[in-house]
Homo-oligomer: A and B are copies of this chain.
Amino acid sequence: VVSFFYVSERNHEYAIIFMMKVSKLGEFGLIDLLAKMIAEAKVDRLAADQPLIGIGDDAAAWRTDGSIELATVDTMVQDVHFSLNATTWQELGWKSLAINLSDIAAMGGMPEYALVALALPEDTAVTDITDLYEGMIELAKQSRTAIVGGNISRAQVVSVTITVIGKSINQIILRRAAARPGDLIAVTGHPGSAAAGLEMLSKNLKFKSPVAEYLRSAFLHPVPRLVEGQLLIIQGIKTAIDTSDGLLSDLRHICEASKVSARIDVDRLPVHPAVRESFGENARGLALSGGEDYELLFTGPADAINRVKAEIKCPVTTIGEITAGAPGKIELFDASGKVIIITKTGWQHF
């Protein structure tokens, strides 16, 4: 079985890029371009304690006297990342913190401090903001994250930008760039559930009570895999990412950073029964490409993966393996060994 599926390909002709709109270049293209500017200006190397990893992992990391420090930032913008019609203020507070804690989890770290930058229209009700903080405080308590500061600005729409500062355990961090050919690929939880929840909310689909609640919670109440990330380190895993952009997209990030290829057995994807039941044919597509699950996608030798499965409390499923090949290339195949390609209109066997 030989085939290939490039999730996307980018072209770094800068003369052309500079005239482009941001939409054309895309988020990752823009990050690459800015990371290159920063590297050329050596402006990532100015502090006394120099960063351990370049821009482009889940969190920034640098070594201090006693440990490795981590820092990450993420933003939720109204009508881009959430709609106030579909999301309660408590859910917004929870999720805004959760997506940042998930980046710390993807490094195998412990969160310590959070700074909260709110941008709010002037006619926002004060009670909405205290509700937002209630949701945030609930998760802060569970994860032992101290909320130590922030900022409030006026703006046309609501946005919540949270910075989380954390620490590594055992002076080790999980990275994107450590996958090796022969590693197995595993994922926690049930990828695609958050995207199914978004589909339900945005298209106002009606499902029975336990299904609807599972889907809503998967999208609006993700639980960052902090304990799991730390357990990965203890069991000898070196490579991980959190699935914020979608399984394939995040796997591509690992493959590009590690300069390897990957093979995924789509029949092994651990689609949740509630998603399979509600979305049928489309469930697999949601699991491969749907974003915002905030699960951990990780790679490692079979024995390390088996130790993780024995020790971890959440579902862990092996879904494929890392191979030698073009950096970022991902092959999909099914249980019978048939290669699968993705087209704009759906899935088909090759």
Contact = CB atoms under 8 A, between A and B. Distances in A.
Given A17-B126, A22-B129, A154-B77, A43 B119 contact: no
A309 B116 CA distance: 37
Given A129-B30, A140-B43, A148 B20 contact: no
Interface in A132-188: 133-134, 137, 140-141, 144-157, 159, 161, 163, 165
Contacts of A256: none
Nearest to A70: B149
A130 B33 contact: yes
A224 to B, nearest CB: 15
A60 B122 contact: no
A125 B161 contact: no
Copies of chain A in the complex:
2
Interface residues of A, number: 80
A146 B50 contact: yes
B77 A30 contact: no
Give the secondary structure class of A's interface. mixed
Interface stretch (A61-69, A205-213, A229-237, A246-254): A61-69
Interface of A: 17-23, 25, 27, 30-31, 33-34, 37-38, 41, 43-51, 55, 59-60, 62, 64-66, 71-75, 77, 79-81, 112-113, 115-117, 119-127, 129-130, 133-134, 137, 140-141, 144-157, 159, 161, 163, 165
